[in-house]
Structure 1
Amino acid sequence: MSSPAYSNVRSEDRLPIDAIVVSPNPRLRQELRERLGLPRWRVSDAGSGAEALERLHETGIEHGVLLLDPMLPDLDPLEFDGMVRSEFPNLQILTLNSHTGQLLVGRQSPTPLSTKLMELLNNRIAMQAPHILPSGTGSDSEAAAAGIRLRGMIGDSAGMQRVYASTRMVAARDTTVLITGESGVGKDLVAQAIHLVSKRSKQPFVVVNCAAIPEPLLESELFGYVKGAFTGAVQSRMGRIHAAHGGTLFLDEIGDMPLSLQSKMLRFLEQGEVQRLGGNDNLKVDVRVVAATNADLKKLVDQKLFREDLYYRLRVFPIQIPPLRERMEDLESLAASFADRFCPGTALSQEALAVLLQHSWSGNVRELRNTIERASILVGSQREIKAEHIVL
C-alpha cells in the first residue's frame, strides 16, 4: 500500500484542498502528485479502489476532488463511483485516462494535464464546496468569483459573462436581487452562487417556490403561525422567513405570489419584521432576499396583478439570464459537463453535437440536461454518445 504524500500547505485562513489520485499506474499517480503539489493542495494517492476507500476513511476528507483512473484492478469503476458518492457526497469525482494522463470531461478530445486542468479542478471543487475558496472583496474574491462562474453555470458567451460579472458585484452586499429568465435557464444556480460566496454562506439558504405552495398555505408557510391561529394549528410554528434568519431567502417564481400576500411581503422587505399568522408581535429578522421569476413582472404590474411598489423593492439589482438559444456557443461545454456527470469518461461524438446544435431548446439548460441524462442511459456500455442516443 502506498503511503499518502501531502504537499506543503501555507498557513492561511483558507481551508486546504484535499485531492486523492486513484490509479494502478504509479507513474500517473506520481505525475499528478507533483502537479498538485501547490499551496493549499493536500494530495494523497491509492493504487486500487479498496485502498482509496481506506485512504478516504483514514484522512476523513469531506470536501475536495478524487481523480479516478477507471482501469481499477479490483472494482468496477461505476460501482466504485457509487460507493464514494454514497459515503462522501461532497467529493468531486473526475475521470482520468490511464495511458495518457488526460482528464476526460465527456468530449472526444480530453483535456491535457496542464494549467487548464488545474483551473478546471479548482472550478469543479467550487461547484460543490465553495466555502473552501476565499470570500470577501477586492483581490481575495477572485478565486470565489471563479467558483461562481462554474457552479453549474457553464459557458463563456458574452451573455453568461455578464451574469458572472453581476453575480460577483452583488454577492458581497445584502442588496435584494431579482433574477429573471425563461424556465430552465438556471435561475436557482445564480441564487445559490450569490449566497455561497456571500458573508452569509454558512447560514441557512431557504427556498420557497411561490408557485408550488397553494395560496391558502403560502402565508403561514412564509410567516409562520401561532397556536390556535386556525383549525389544526395545535402548536406555534416559525415560517420560512424566520428559518432563513442570518442567511438568504430565495423566493422562486415570485410572480405567482398572490396579490393578497404581496403587501405583507413588502412590509417585511422594508422593515425586516415578520408577524406570524394569528399573532400580534413583530419579530425582527436578518434575511437577505433573492427572488426569481420567468414572468414579465412589469406586464403583471400594468395588469394590476403585481404590486408596483413590491416590484421596485425586489428589483434593486436585476440579473437577466439569457436563454440557451441565445448562447449556443456554450452548448458543447454544457453537454460535455452533463455527460461527465451522468456517465464519467463518456465522450460526445461530433454527430451527436451536430444534432444538439440544430435544436431550438425551448426548455433551455434543463432540457439539455435531461437529454444528456437520457443519452447516458441509452449509450449502455459504449463510451461515446452518438446521434442515435439523442432523443429530442
Structure 2
Amino acid sequence: MTKILVVDDDPQLRQSFERLLLREGYETLTAPSAEEGIKKVTSFKPDLIIMDVRMSGMTGLEAFKIIKEIDAKIPVIIMTAYGTTDSAIEATKLGAFDYILKPFDIPDVLSLIDKAIKAGHFMKAQVKLGDKDDNDAYDNIETDAIIGNSPVMQEVYKAIGRAAPTDATVLIRGESGTGKELVARAIYQHSLRSDHAFQIINCVAIPETLLESELFGYEKGAFTGAVNRRIGKIEQANHGTVFLDEIGDMPLNIQSKILRLLQERSIERLGGRSPIPVDVRIIAATNVDLEKAVEDGRFREDLYYRLKVVNLELPPIRKRKQDIPLLANYFLAQYAREIDSEIPELTTESIETLKAYNWPGNVRELANSMHKLLIFNRGYALTSDDIQEAIGAQVVSKKTDEKEKDLAPESFEKHLRLWIREMLTESYGKCYDELMDKIAYIIISEALEQTRGNRSQAAKMLGFSRPTLLAKIEKFQMTIHTSVT
C-alpha cells in the first residue's frame, strides 16, 4: 500500500487530510511539526510527503533540505497560503515535486498526489537488464525489467551501459510499446545524476497551450490566471534528468526553446526577461520518423542533430522472436504475484503460437495479453487456443501453414488479412504502395507461371495490354523463364 506522510501544525487540516487519503486507499501518517516529520521519514519510509511551508519551530523549507539528505527520491508536495508562496517556490527550485495553495480544490490535490506517487515510483523502481536467469525480476514485483537475450537486445544493453555514465543527450527510437520509457529510466538509474530528480514529460499527453508553461514555468502576470510564479519541470529537475517522451510530436515553437536549452544550458520562463541557467540531462524518445518530419518541416533539423548524440534504436518483437518466451513468462510471473496466483505453464504449441503472431503492439500488447490470460486461467497449462483467444486474432503457425497450402475459400480472407496486417507493421508510412506492389508482383508472377512465360497470354489473363504487362515486368525487375514469348 502506498504510504503518505502529512506534516502540518494545524490539527484540523491533518485530520481532514488523513480522512481523505484513507478513503482513497493510502496508508497515512501525520506529524504536528517539521521536527517530528523528519523523525517519521526514517521510521515510516513514506512514498510521498505533503508538508506545510510555515510551521512553528522549524519551517517546511528547512525540513525539506534535511529530508532531501535522508532520501532525495521521496517526492515532496509543499502546502502554502497565498501570502507565503516565495518559500514554496524556493522549495520547488530545490527539487520539491510541486506546491499547492490553501485552500485546496480536492480533485486537483488528488490528481497532484497521483502524479507525485508515479514520479516517485519511476525514480525508485529499479530497471534490470538481461534475460533474468537469476530470477531477480521474477521475484520482485517492484522491479521492472528489460527482457531479452537476443543479439539485438545485447546491443541495446551495451548502448545503455555506454551512454548512462556520460552526460550525453540520448535519443531513443522505436515503435509504440517497445519499452522506450524503461530504457530511459535504466539510463537515468545508471547515471551520475541518479540521486537527483527524474522528470517525465509526455509531449502529446499535455495540450499544446499548457506544454510550454509545464516545461519552462511562468512569471506572475505572464497571462490571465498567472497569479503566482510557477517553476517548470525542467527547472525542477535541476542537476537531474528530463525525459521528453514523444518528442517527435512537439510543436515547433517549443522545439526552438528545447534547442536553446541544449545549446546554452538555460531556459526562460513565460513572461520572464532573463535567462535562467539549468543543469539537466535530456533523454528523448519518439516513434516518429524524424528524418521524414525534418523533410516535411515538422521537426527542426538543428534540434534533430542536437538530440541524436547517442541514437538508441529499440527493436520490435517481430525482430527478436526468440525473446518472446522469456517475455511471456516474465509477465505471467509478475501478474501472478500481483493477484496471488499460480504461474501457468506455456506449452510448446502455445509458445509457437506466440512466436507466429506479429505483435503490432509490441511488448505492451504481449504484457496485456498475458495479464488477460492469467485473469481467466484456472491453473491449467496455457494452450494455443488460449493464446489465440487472448490475442483476439487468428494466428497461423508455420506448421499449420505448411499443412494447409490449399486454403478454403471461406478462410482465404482471414489469411489475407493476417498477411496484410504483418505488412502494415513492417512498411509504416508507405504501406499502401508497398502492399499494392507486392500483390501486383504475386499476381503477375502467377499468371506468367501458368502461361509458361507467354506474355501475350498472361496479359489477356490479367486484362492488361501487352505493353502494360511489359512495363510492370520491367518495374518489378522480374526474371521470366519463357518457352514462348
Relative to the length of structure 2, the TM-score reads 0.51
Which of the residues 141, 146, 156 maps onto 1:153? 146
Instruction: Give 1:326's aligned residue.
Output: 319
1:120 to 134, 148, 151: 134
Q: Shift of residue 307 of structure 1? A: 0.5
Matches within 5 A, 1:21-170: 120-122=134-136, 128=142, 151-170=144-163
CA distance in 1, matches of 2:311, 2:187: 13
Which whole-Å CA distance do the structure 2 matches of 1:285 and 1:311 have between them? 21
Partners of 2:336 and 2:281 lie apart in 1 by: 37
How big is the shift at 1:263?
1.0
TM-score of the two chains, using structure 1 as the length reference: 0.63
What letter matches 1:269 in structure 2?
Answer: L
Shift of the 271–178 alpha-carbon distance from structure 1 to 2, 3 Å rule, reads same
User: Alpha-carbon deviation of 1:351?
Assistant: 2.8
- CA change 1:246–1:373 in 2 (3 A) is same
Match of 1:203 among 196, 212, 234: 196
- CA separation of 1:242 and 1:124: change in aligned 2, threshold 3 A: farther
Does the alignment pair 1:173 with 2:166?
yes
Structure 1 residue aligned with 2:210: 217
Which residue of the other structure, out of 280, 305, 312, is the alignment partner of 2:305? 312
User: In the alignment, residue 347 of structure 2 is paired with which amino acid?
Assistant: S
Q: Please state how far the C-alpha of 1:61 moved relative to its aligned partner.
A: 10
Contact map agreement 1:223 1:275 (CA 8 A) in 2: yes
User: CA–CA distance in 2 between the matches of 1:367 and 1:197?
Assistant: 27
CA distance in 1, matches of 2:171, 2:260: 17
Alignment partner of 1:385 is 2:382? yes
Q: What amino acid sits opposite 1:389 in the alignment? A: D
Once residues 125 and 256 of structure 2 are traced to their aligned partners in structure 1, the CA distance between those partners, rounded to angstroms, is: 44
Structure 1 runs not aligned, ≥5 long? 1-58, 63-88, 93-115, 130-150
- Of 273, 293, 296, the match for 1:300: 293
Residue 375 of structure 2 aligns to a residue whose secondary structure is helix
Q: String of CA shifts for 1:334-368, please: whole Å, max 9, x gaps.
A: 00000001114412222322221111101100000
**Alpha-carbon separation, structure 1, partners of 2:141 and 2:189:** 10
Provide closer, same or farther for how the CA distance between residues 361 and 122 of structure 1 changes in structure 2, counting only shifts above 3 A.
closer
CA contact (8 A) 1:339 1:348 kept: no
Identity %: 46
Q: Distance in 1 between matches of 2:269 and 2:259?
A: 15
1:120 alignment partner, SS class = coil
Structure 1 position 362 matched with structure 2 position 360: yes
The amino acid across from 1:275 in the alignment is: E
| Unpaired stretches in structure 2, ≥5 consecutive residues | 1-42, 47-120, 392-485
Encode CA deviations 1:230-287: one digit per residue, 9 max, x unaligned.
1111111111101211111000000000011111110011111111001112111110
Kept in 2: contact 1:173–1:198 (CA 8 A): yes
Runs (4+) off by over 6 Å: 59-62, 89-92
Max radius of gyration: which structure?
A: 2
**1:348 counterpart (346, 349, 371):** 346
Partner-residue secondary structure (3-state), 2:211? helix
Please identify, of 329-338 and 232-241, the stretch whose mean Cα deviation from structure 2 is larger. 232-241
**Greater per-residue helix proportion:** 2
Aligned counterpart in structure 2 of residue 249 of structure 1, from 242, 245, 251: 242
Residues 298 and 205 from structure 1, CA distance in 2 versus in 1: closer, same or farther, beyond 3 angstroms?
A: same
One-letter amino acid of the counterpart of residue 384, structure 1: A
1:91 CA drift (Å)? 9.7
Equivalent position SS for 2:293: helix
Contact 1:335 1:369 in 2 (8 A): yes
RCO comparison, higher one (Cα < 8 Å, 6+): 1
Taking structure 1 as reference, are residues 230 and 221 closer, same or farther at Cα in structure 2, changes over 3 Å only?
same
CA distance in 2, matches of 1:292, 1:91: 20
Decide whether aligned partners of structure 1 residues 160 and 127 sit closer, same or farther in structure 2, where only a CA change above 3 A counts: farther
- Asked if the contact 2:244–2:284 (Cα under 8 Å) also holds between the matched residues in 1, the reply is yes
Contact 2:147 2:326 in 1 (8 A): yes
Question: In the alignment, is the contact (CA less than 8 A) between 1:127 and 1:152 conserved in 2?
Answer: no
The residue correspondences of 1:255-266 to structure 2 (distance < 5 A) are 255-266=248-259
